[in-house]
Structure 1
Amino acid sequence: IQFGCKSRWDGFNSLSVKMENKGTDEVEKLKTKFLSAWHNVKYSWALKSKTYFSRNSPVFLLGKCYHFKAEESSSTEACAASPATGGGVEAFRRDFASRLWLTYREEFPALPGSSLTSDCGWGCMLRAGQMMLAQALVLHFLGRDWTWSESLSLQPLDTETWTTTAAKRLVASLEASLQGERPSDPGPPLHALGAHGGAEEADTHLREVYHRTLVSWLGDTPQAQLGVHRLVELGLASGKQAGDWYGPAVVAHILRKAVEKATDPGLAGITSYVSQDCTVYSADVMDSHRSWLAGDADAPPLSDTRAVIILVPVRLGGEKINPEYFNFVKGILSLEYCIGIIGGKPKQACYFVGFQDDSLIYMDPHYCQSFVDVSTSHFPLQSYHCPSPKKMPFSKMDPSCTIGFYSRNVQDYERISQELSKVLQPSAKEKYPAFTFMQGHRRDYNLSAALTPEKREWPFIRDPRTTAATSGDFVLL
């Protein structure tokens, strides 16, 4: 509020005088609108911070390695240990900006069991879970090499620009409320998708159709298969309600339920599995890969090509992360079938997607954006992609997190389990691996009841006393 905004608040004071002359009902409506507008201010105005990357160290992003040196020889040598070399700085920017970005939203339909029309201040872990789920869907439908054609045209999150926009929206919203009308918001321009031409154009069009479909599944409407409304509804069974704080383990189980209960035919070929007690039971994952005839689990499987999203809730230390797990996290994020890690730093949820040296690269859900109606044919996609990566030291990572992997089929899982078993080898100081693989099935028990006590979670909540830092750009040293 201190960044040259005094004149704005003088305007708010004059508006409050007008509000006093209105009836009680109208005042209540204005309070609701003011709260919504204030959410936009609170989670959009921030100190402009830049993310610095070194030119001399490789950057890993969900299994791909990038090097910002101009010399190709150096890039190849530095990334020799990586299964996939991605290229230089432009390739990294294109790849990062193509990942789906799910953030706080406001003014969407009321959430189940509440009157809340925004998840600002409490839904960050759900958003982080959506981003990890989105990466799994990208791998499933588009592949790891897919990038959005418009990713490099996104504008950096420049605080000065966004602050001005947010201030104008806040004043316009309140003034329009006094006049009984809603402010018009033209939004970003729509881009038509072409489907004409040769096979390459047709393939590009098909990928964009998948891209838009994935976003629609994650939209903020009750009908969205994997949207925040569906996640909140499924969380009710675990004792969580809209407005509560969610931990990474609870979100893992909510995501599993959401994928399993999805009715869209496009999601029929994918399911989810959550490990139990830091143990992945191979027989259970194998069964998840197999598609059975409904109601007849004893019959031969119809196929064994159903993809599985494997989610592993872990704790990498006590009150703070154990430094012995730093290399383990690096090894996990260096794998192409890793779909990232949801966790965060204390009181803030993040979606970790990569690292450079001793810093994690993450996507931040703490950014309030307006509701987008994904039911329209050409809804804008720009707000679902982030052009500005953020970094934080490994030492600030909260030890409670959930790791995600994507397995396409049984053969893929066998390879993944073998490779991960090597990564999971404990160090000399840390005698216990983060999680393990075991043959056979797990014992069934009531997971929902085990998730209810709050003390079993380390919720990541936003501290209102701290100022959010929104990346504006990243700078090469």
Structure 2
Amino acid sequence: MDVMLEAFLPYEGAIIPDDIPKTKETIWILGKEYKPPHDIKVIRAHIRSTLWFTYRRGFDPIGETTYTSDRGWGCMLRCGQMMLARAYTTYYMGADWIWTPETQDQTYLKILHLFEDHFMERYSVHQIAMMGTQEGKKVGQWFSPNNIAQVLKKLSLHEYWTKFVVHVALHNTVIINEIKHDCKNRQPTEPEPAKHRHSQFKPPPRGPWSPLLLIIPLRLGMKNILPHYLELLKRCFMLEHSMGMLGGTPNHALYFFGCVGDEVFFFDPHTTQNSARVGDKSTWEQVAADETYHCDYAMRRKLSKMDPSLAVGFLCCTESDFDSLCKQLQAKKITTGDLPLFQIVDKRPQYMV
């Protein structure tokens, strides 16, 4: 699968992929509305600015195993990294932030470092794989959307710089009072290390609400997504709080971040690159390393071809954002009607106690 990289990194004489269709239909990418062909350049910049995580090889062994690559098993881990990293860049850099190869913004670099392949980085493949053992997954085993969501939730409790809350809504149910409690009472599980207290990368002061990444694992059919849910999934991409979806096909995870017509846009992690550290981007090697975390082109497929096991994600930077999300979900009839995608309740139902 290494040759897939050639489909994303153009060279002289290369055929440019037709990832953005020639259409008059509206394109939705993570809650933003675009009108082709006028917005093609803006769409490209948006795609290029989203961090792209792929299989890597040549990193230090994971724990006491001999794994120095996640090729063949780490695709859902990489997709989870992509969703969380997108939430971080949106929160700290802004939804309209644009990356270029010359970017040396210290906040951006700090975010990227969190996901690099090193056991000391909070959301590295090392940390995710080792935390996965608490979910019953041995290092080297494939994760489901729910597995990666649960692991990111646990790891976020130990992340001191961003202090994000990753909340996983189980049983197709978003419980408002529990989410608000978590976001207003976010506490680390252990004292903040000195290296974080004295870090030069200081995020903006936080208010009474910790930024929320809400992940909702869903099962929308047996072998295929039931037709009723296809339109509801499309509506999720149209919400300004959308952070995309984790899914794919069995044992082949993909990160979905937009839609047009009956198709979805996605990043595919099934390209194996050498492990690379970006540092402060002061050398040409570090600049080149940074470029391996960005992709000029997306891919697309029929929404109906997605696996029915998936997880949708939403970012709420403030409490008013969360209130707005709940209202928008109801207004677009995503959480109402006879067959809602999931439900929103004020407090935990008695049957879930």
SS class of match (2:77): helix
| Aligned residue-pair number | 325
CA distance in 2, matches of 1:141, 1:260: 19
C-alpha RMSD of matched pairs (Å): 2.7
User: Cα distance 1:442–1:142, how it changes in 2: closer, same or farther (>3 A)?
Assistant: farther
Is 1:324 the counterpart of 2:228? The answer is yes
Contact 1:324–1:427 under 8 Å retained in 2: no
Q: Which amino acid aligns with 2:60?
A: P
**Deviation of the 1:443 alpha carbon:** 8.2
SS class of match (1:392): strand
**Deviation of the 1:294 alpha carbon:** 7.6
Out of 81, 84, 88, which is 1:130 matched to? Answer: 81
SS class of match (2:108): helix
SS class of match (2:266): strand
Contact 1:288–1:308 under 8 Å retained in 2: no
User: Match of 2:197?
Assistant: none
CA distance in 1, matches of 2:234, 2:87: 19
Out of 58, 62, 86, which is 2:26 matched to? Answer: 58
Out of 259, 274, 284, which is 1:355 matched to? Answer: 259
**Deviation of the 1:326 alpha carbon:** 1.4
Contact 1:290–1:303 under 8 Å retained in 2: no
Out of 162, 185, 201, which is 1:267 matched to? Answer: 162
- Residues 361-390 of structure 1 deviation map (CA, whole Å, 9 limit, x = unaligned): 001101111110244654331011110110
SS class of match (2:43): helix
Q: Which amino acid aligns with 2:46?
A: D
Contact 2:235–2:334 under 8 Å retained in 1: no
User: Cα distance 1:371–1:321, how it changes in 2: closer, same or farther (>3 A)?
Assistant: same
Out of 244, 247, 263, which is 1:343 matched to? Answer: 247
User: Cα distance 1:99–1:442, how it changes in 2: closer, same or farther (>3 A)?
Assistant: farther
Instruction: Determine what percentage of the aligned residue pairs are the same residue.
Output: 27
Out of 332, 341, 347, which is 1:434 matched to? Answer: 341
**Deviation of the 1:284 alpha carbon:** 0.8
Contact 2:174–2:345 under 8 Å retained in 1: yes
Q: Which amino acid aligns with 1:362?
A: F
Out of 100, 104, 129, which is 1:232 matched to? Answer: 129
Alignment of 1:142-291 (within 5 A): 142-150=93-101, 191=102, 193=104, 208-263=105-160, 266-268=161-163, 270-291=164-185
Q: Unaligned stretches of 5+ in structure 2?
A: 9-14, 190-205
CA distance in 2, matches of 1:288, 1:343: 26
**Deviation of the 1:346 alpha carbon:** 3.6
Contact 2:158–2:188 under 8 Å retained in 1: no
User: Match of 1:97?
Assistant: 48
Contact 1:309–1:404 under 8 Å retained in 2: yes
SS class of match (2:331): helix
Q: Unaligned stretches of 5+ in structure 1?
A: 1-38, 71-87, 151-190, 194-207, 296-301, 446-477
User: Match of 2:219?
Assistant: 315
Q: Which amino acid aligns with 1:438?
A: V
CA distance in 2, matches of 1:108, 1:439: 45
CA distance in 2, matches of 1:413, 1:426: 15
Q: Which amino acid aligns with 1:212?
A: L
Q: Which amino acid aligns with 2:166?
A: S
